[in-house]
Amino acid sequence: MLATADGEKQGSRVEVQEFKRVSGGTVMLRFTMINDGDQTLNFGYDFAQPGTSDFANIGGVHLIDPVGKKKYLVVRDSKNNCDCSRDVRDLGAKSRINLWARLPAPPDNVEKIGVVIPHFSPLDDVPIGR
């Protein structure tokens, strides 16, 4: 596990399992969302990128490069669908789910970057693997 952050709902957290550069100038983020609380985590539009028709996906995940002062949004196809986990069912109490998102890669000299998953504390300085 590379990083972990607590969520807004009690008992929820994310754990970054893998974060590495892949072909095509992108990075692959794989993480587990854990719900140890008593309430269901609803996907609906809760993890969507604002201004999109995202539903039941994690299109709102993004990267923040504080040094380069850049924000990297999830990669999208020609129909504006995110290249990420889609059709995600709500996460019931006492359960977990593995999720992923592909994002543009920051410059090669950036070795650590901030990962933002909506409704979870920002994950600062997450190392980017090769």
Confidence grade of residue 128 (pLDDT, cut at 50, 70, 90): very high
Which pLDDT score, from 0 to 100, does residue 53 have? 87
**What is the CB neighbour count within 10 angstroms for residue 65?**
15
Q: Would the pLDDT of 113 be above 90?
A: yes
Average pLDDT rounded to a whole number, residues 92-111: 97
Question: Which of 27-31, 66-70, 72-76, 117-121 comes out lowest in average pLDDT?
Answer: 66-70
Average pLDDT rounded to a whole number, residues 12-17: 98
Which pLDDT score, from 0 to 100, does residue 20 have? 98
Sheet harboring 62-65: ordered strands across?
70-73, 62-65, 112-116, 123-127
CA distances from 66 to 14, 36, 119 (A): 21, 32, 20
| Helix extents (H) in the chain | none
